Amino acid sequence: MVVRPVVHGFRRTRWPCCRRLIHGKSAGFFPGQGQERPGQLIEFQKKFPREAAEAVQALRQGLPGSQGEAVERFLLDETTEYANDTSIAQPANLVCAVAAYNTKKTVHDFFLGHSLGQISAFVAAGALSFKDGVTVVGARGRAMKAAVPNDGDDYGMVAGLIRAGGTDAKERIMNALARLRTSGAVQGVVEVANLNSPSQIVLSGHVKDCGRVLKAAKIVGVKLQVAIPFHSSLMVLVREPMAAVIANVHVGDAQVPVVRNDTSQLVIQADEVKKAILVGCWAPVDWVGNVERVAEAGVTAFTGYGHGVDVQAKLVSLIVNSRDNHSSCSVETCF
């Protein structure tokens, strides 16, 4: 999850990382959950009817039944009521992301994706079919929704917004957490879930305790609009149902290396793809490390695919620009 403004409609945008573009490798990237809205496939469908039809077909085949029907209504009816339901948002996100990629099918040197976007990356890399990607993400949304009881505002995520130059933010957060645990002021789950950019760290767990930790670390906290503690140890409960789903779909080798969210390792072999999908349900997302990994490998052109990918593109630009001796690059989006 990232802090992001609401972006409506169809757009292609270029975010300059610096003054000039030099020849180099390219990477495709995909967003995670966070900016879904009813009817988000409508404008795309008008401009790319073939790819939209293929996406709807993959949705129907990969997620038959009431969940898939609800996702399809969400994508194609802007009057649909939506209560930030992750079992709808996650498959809707992947459907739009892969559909956007299919308008170009650019052969990139690497793929990466934020959180569930990692599964979209595996689809683009050929490790999963579109249909099976929908199946996996649909199950992921269901399992995560069921993993934590609905106790009002007890669970969720809080983003820490860090001022320029705050390079010690993670250390300050961990020191503050240790102090508060020792004093008994914090007793719930508080874990670093996302390293989104040099200026944004997301905590996950018990919301009030996450807020207390950020306040003690003197970092501004913004509660995200989710009631599920994504990328925390509370999500380990999804291990068994997700392992069963992954075992029942065809997972092959990736034709293009995909950056693993938690370790920033490059994943190709099918067994490693399965492991990355499973562990990605609860492990933290080191988006800074992911982007730096491909930048160090010579990537100078980034393209993001999917609805709401614009803010992810801004994060990529921030990360690349924050690197010492960073190379010239471009970042653009497609949806």
Residues classed as catalytic: 115, 231
Query: Which residues are CB-neighbours of 292 under 8 A, at least 6 positions away?
Result: 264, 319, 323
Strands across the sheet with 190-197, in order?
220-223, 155-161, 200-206, 190-197, 285-286
- State whether residue 27 is helix, strand or coil: strand
Angle, helix 270-279 to helix 117-124, in steps of 10 degrees? 160
Q: Judge contact between 321 and 87, C-beta under 8 A.
A: no
DSSP at 202: E
Alpha helix segments (H runs only) across 280-327: 287-296, 309-322
Neighbours of 332 (CB within 10 A): 15
The β-bridge partners of 267 are 258
